[in-house]
A and B are shown apart, each in its own frame.
Chain A
């Protein structure tokens, strides 16, 4: 009664798999982004620190003031200066003063973020050069190739001493 036919099972048709995976690929291309987050890393001072008490310990000769005016120009020690020359100036300054130096940044509330960023960038660049020199002198290799402990020692030798004036223009500060 039951006839058992022997028949071949046809192979699964996989021609559309490529199309399906193309769809997935295009979906991921559209919904995701590839941009890497890069930025200038900075450390903010803790909130309880009184800036005034620190500044009194620094004598005028060890202080470098960077000021950004409301029309986005840079004043170094109250003299107009070029941002492109700032890097060498900071390097020289930190070299001659060593650990006692202090850089003070004052940005006018109406100035531009871009100017401020460029100055921060130059400061970081100058410190990187100094730390590199220090690392080569001490360990014979570049700062970024040093181990974590060596980096701590170099950070201790060449600290970044920067004071920022948080002038938001609301406390009746300079215009």
Chain B
């Protein structure tokens, strides 16, 4: 068995010079596919499930209306009834018209053409709130709406 000569050799250390580059590319991947949260949610909502959903393509032409019960830490001050949230604060139905008009003015002319209002409402909301919001949107001439939902599994 003297065929195998066991030589003592030193294992070189793993070269980690490219590790930062690898992590940077993961970082850039995440920076591209994700987006920053813009508003602090003050309502909690669980959107309904549907099958015929379309993706909202243009982020700059979308404004959001959140409808739901106040989140747990806000319930002491805001109560337990369904509220509408626009930007960072609670609002009433009459504020929706002003909000949508303001959003519309903020957008560029080509975005105004395809402005979409995404209604993110909790699935246990009563219909009168939804109907009120829709009437307000009609008044504000924001006629393209999208009922936010998740794909049914």
Contacts and interface: CB of A to CB of B under 8 A. Distances in A.
Q: Do A and B come from one complex?
A: yes
Given A44-B134, A113-B122, A168-B132, A39 B148 contact: yes
Contact of B53 (A18, A38, A116): A38
B135 to A, nearest CB: 6
Contacts of B132: 168
A24 B27 contact: yes
B30 A28 contact: yes
A32 B135 CA distance: 33
Given A112-B127, A113-B124, A114-B124, A28 B54 contact: no
Given A18-B19, A28-B34, A39-B56, A117 B149 contact: yes
Interface residues of B, number: 55
How extensive is the interface on chain A, given as a class? 35 or more
A113 B20 contact: no
Contacts of B19: 17-18
A24 B27 CA distance: 7
B23 A22 contact: yes
Interface in B127-153: 127-128, 130-132, 134-135, 137-139, 141-151
4 tightest A-B contacts by CB? A39-B146, A109-B128, A32-B34, A114-B123
18 contacts: A14-B20, A18-B16, A21-B23, A24-B27, A25-B27, A32-B34, A32-B36, A32-B37, A37-B146, A38-B53, A41-B144, A41-B145, A42-B145, A107-B127, A109-B131, A113-B123, A117-B123, A120-B147
